Structure 1
Amino acid sequence: MPVNDGNWHQITITFSKENSEFRLYYDGHNKAIYKVNFDFSNNNPFRIGTVENTSNYVNTYSPDIKNGLKLLQELVDEFNALGLESLKNKEFLDLIVDPEDLLARKLEIMKVKTKLNKGSLSKVLDIRKEMGANPYTVFQNMELTVLKPVNEIYSLQDGEVVINESAGKSFTNSERLFPSDFMMDKLYIWRKTINEEEVLNSYKKHRKIEPYKLSENLKNLNVGVWNIWHGGIHWSLKKDGWDSRMRIVEIIKEKNLDIVLLQETYSSGDFIAAELGYYFTTTSDWDYKYQGANISVISRYPIKEVKVAAETEFNNVAVKISISKTQEVWAMSNWYGMNNFPKVFDFHKSRFKGSDSIPVFFGGDFNAVPHTDGGKSPASKKMIEEGFIDAYRNMYPDVKKYPGFTHMEDIRIDQLYYKGKGLKNSFTEVISTWPSGFPSDHFLIASKFELTISEKMV
């Protein structure tokens, strides 16, 4: 969705306090919906245009980077104050990720009696909590922390934490805001939340446009489920010669998927949708570890409605999609959260019950093997009891012959369930490889459904 391509464009953003959602319109069409679950209204002044940025991006580091240096030095000093062998340079990330394990290993190496225990790390752990609020010192497990800015920017040199100059300046410069390279000729502000028709009509005053043309009815629908692995950060052009996100786009295009239920999209879901020209919805009220929203749905067809339970906004998002003039479906993306699954199930129960009128696709990364495969997933049992069908296992009932693994560790923890009159699963496959490189640790589930009923039940 370019705004600097030399053409005139209209960008509209609406916020509904009642629905707790932002809607982004591009040239009259609603392309993205962000369910935020918080009240955006405030008394801060509304600023239009740009303000000169007087920050020195050439000769200094970002305040957050400098504060990160201070926190990390305090972390190292507190650990060394325990009186053990001084922290080695190569143990720097170990201290950040798991100081308790590092302490246990050092005590084992010393093989002396000591009164030190996990409680001795209280000051260290307090500092780590502060680090979690800084985008440049935030951490997770070792696999992910290696990919985060803290590993690129900072290092330990004989007890002193130092900043990698090139990385520090690069991240500092990434915060820099530049004047827009396009001109804004008109600005309108409404005191109400305008609807789709009003946005479209406002665009029509300047350009000819037609509403999105849906077919009378749709005969087939291709649906995918995919955990794209930490927002597609594991392969990049700079490091690997190819970009995970663009490979995801390539595969979705090649498989001709109409709707994809995505997990671990973080800040990449809208990018992927834009590259495909698809509609996009996510929940964005919890920016977990500075990664952005976790789950999303992308669709070739317009998204009309979004449903998110306040207690499970990180685990589940449901959207109603108009796939033709006479057909709608619910598409629900789910991530892990088996402890929260009963809440998700109860929240959507009315939609499940109405599946003969509006079919339901419910899929995602459950991080649990279904009971049909000998696992103990509470979700699979509940879904099948409700009348849902497991798309892969229904096509391939022989578990031994067709294990259908969806993760590189040879387990089937991702599933696509469907329910609704007139739905026929004609083809399902699990895609685990790609000629030019596969971009995720989870595999893509792709199903083709025949739609034998073309009119919505009333």
Structure 2
Amino acid sequence: MRKQWICRAVVVVGVVLGGMGAEFVGAAENDRLRVLVWNVWRGTNKVDQGPEKALALIKESKADVCLLQESYDIEGERPQFGPWAAEQLGWNVWQGKSPHLCVMSPYTMDQTFFHKAWHAIGAELTDPKGRKLHAFSIWIDYRSGAGAYLRAHPSASDQEVLDGESERSGRVAQAAGILKYLEAQSLLGLKTPLLVGGDWNCPSHLDWTEATAKAFPYRRALKLPVSWSMLEAGFVDSFRAVYPDPVKQPGDTWSPLFREKDGEVLPLNRIDRLYYKSNREVPMLRAVSAKVYPEVLEDNAIPVEDRAFPSDHAALLIEYEWVGGE
């Protein structure tokens, strides 16, 4: 852990890119907290003017905290995407020795945390009213995703699908490691909010139900272990707190870019999620609005490098209201 201080700057509203999902309700400053979770896809290098397009979305979101994944080096003279974007905004930033995990915010950054370079980093933040929160950006193993496995093995047993979480990938162990680290840092029982969000590379058990198995391809009603472990640790799934019906509001984040292959629809899933713990004390947070970018999906015929949306992952924006306080 280390301390890090950078001056705060005013954020200018950027180009509106739309949102795939729920209507996002604006709120009075300092009464709400907006958190953006986004895998920016290889440092935004895959799309022409990717850094500029990604920065415009961050500005348009009016986020107070950004939890980024794949914040790699920008091609050319610029540094990693997160530090570059934070410099443009005048924000605080923490990426440390991680090749891709990043926490950005205009809030004061009092302390930083480093679990593992590929799996979790975080920061203690203080907002202009002096309210504290902790925010962690995470990423876990992408291999053998449940939706893709079912597409390739439609007759697989439930256990064979679940084995992908612990046997054919390291997701279960890595998620457990993140929770163990948070506990070791005495963060799970704080009186202030704890946010843990990022690219989980697996769907949630809240989205794999009897109802969704009937409504969407390549799903079953399964007790998926990673999301279940977050529930057992006392975390709330922010998107599902706002939209509890996964059929009416699927909130899929994978993938706005890769939706078809050889004329067949690929599995869609909500693999980018933001969890929070209010820790039963004041000041606390309540999720009140959710938005997934982009709203308008681009034509698959458009070459990847020419896309307006610069990532293969949708961006998730959650707005919380502060409840209680001193």
For the criterion TM > 0.5, the same-fold answer is: yes
Match of 1:453 in 2: 324
* Residue number in structure 1 paired with 2:88: 275
Residue 397 of structure 1 deviates from its aligned partner by 1.6
Match for residue 276 of structure 2? 418
CA contact (8 A) 1:218 1:327 kept: no
2-side partners of 1:353 and 1:334: how far apart?
20
In 2: Cα distance, 1:430 partner to 1:377 partner: 22
- 2:204–2:226 Cα contact (<8 Å) kept: yes
Which one scores higher on RCO, CA 8 angstroms, separation ≥ 6? Answer: 2
Equivalent residues in 2 for 1:2-401, closer than 5 Å = 19=1, 23=4, 29=7, 218-236=30-48, 243-266=49-72, 267-284=80-97, 293-309=99-115, 312-337=116-141, 338=171, 339-349=173-183, 350-354=186-190, 357-374=191-208, 377-401=224-248
Distance in 2 (CA, whole Å) between partners of 1:263 and 1:377 is 22
Runs of 4 or more, structure 1, over 3 Å off, are 433-436
Q: Which whole-Å deviations, capped at 9, do the CAs of 1:332-375 have from their partners, x for residues lacking one?
A: 11001423221110110221211xx2101110000000111125
> What is the DSSP-based 3-state SS (H/G/I as helix, E as strand, rest coil) of the residue aligned with 1:351?
coil
- Secondary structure, in 3 states, of the residue corresponding to 2:310? coil
**Counterpart code for 1:439:** P
User: How has the CA–CA distance of structure 1 residues 247 and 376 changed in structure 2, closer, same or farther, with 3 Å as cutoff?
Assistant: farther
> Is the contact made by 1:228 and 1:264 (CA closer than 8 Å) also made in structure 2?
yes
Give the TM-score normalised by structure 2.
0.66
Q: How big is the shift at 1:432?
A: 2.3
Q: Which amino acid in the other structure matches residue 83 of structure 2?
A: D
Query: Following the alignment from structure 1 to structure 2, what is the Cα–Cα distance between the partners of residues 452 and 402?
Result: 25
Q: In 2, distance between residues paired with 1:332 and 1:22?
A: 16
1:361 partner amino acid: L
Residue 429 of structure 1: aligned partner: 291
Checking the alignment, whether the CA contact within 8 Å between 1:283 and 1:294 is kept in structure 2 is no
For residues 396 and 404 of structure 1, the distance between their equivalents in structure 2, rounded to whole angstroms, comes to 9
Give the match's secondary structure for 1:283.
coil
Q: Which has the higher helix share?
A: 1
Q: Which amino acid aligns with 1:222?
A: R
Query: Tell me, what secondary structure is at the counterpart of 2:206?
Result: helix
Give the whole-Å Cα distance in 2 for the aligned partners of 1:252 and 1:308. Answer: 24
Kept in 2: contact 1:427–1:447 (CA 8 A): yes
CA-to-partner distance for each residue in 1:272-323, whole Å, 9 max, x for gaps?
11112211001315xxxxxxx11001101111111112xx222100110011
Q: 1:30 Cα shift?
A: 9.2
Shift of 1:379: 2.4
Secondary structure, in 3 states, of the residue corresponding to 1:308? strand
Name the % identity: 29
Deviations 1:256-277 (A, max 9, x none): 1110110011221101111122
> Does the CA-based 8 Å contact 2:3-2:109 persist in structure 1?
no
Letter in 2 for 1:313: A
Of 361-370 and 375-384, more deviation after overlay is shown by: 375-384
2: CA distance between counterparts of 1:346 and 1:324? 31
Provide the aligned length of Structure 1 versus Structure 2. 231
Corresponding residue SS for 1:449: strand
**Does the residue aligned with 2:246 lie in a helix, a strand or coil?**
coil
C-alpha separation in 2, matches of 1:321 and 1:416: 17
Secondary structure (helix, strand or coil) at the match of 1:382 reads helix
Over alpha carbons, which structure has the higher Rg? 1
Counterpart AA for 2:317: A
Following superposition, the deviation at residue 326 of structure 1 comes to 2.9
Cα distance in 2, alignment partners of residues 361 and 301 from structure 1: 15
* 1:441 corresponding residue in structure 2: 312
For the residue of structure 2 that corresponds to 1:235, the secondary structure is coil
C-alpha change, 1:227 and 1:343, in structure 2 (3 Å) is same
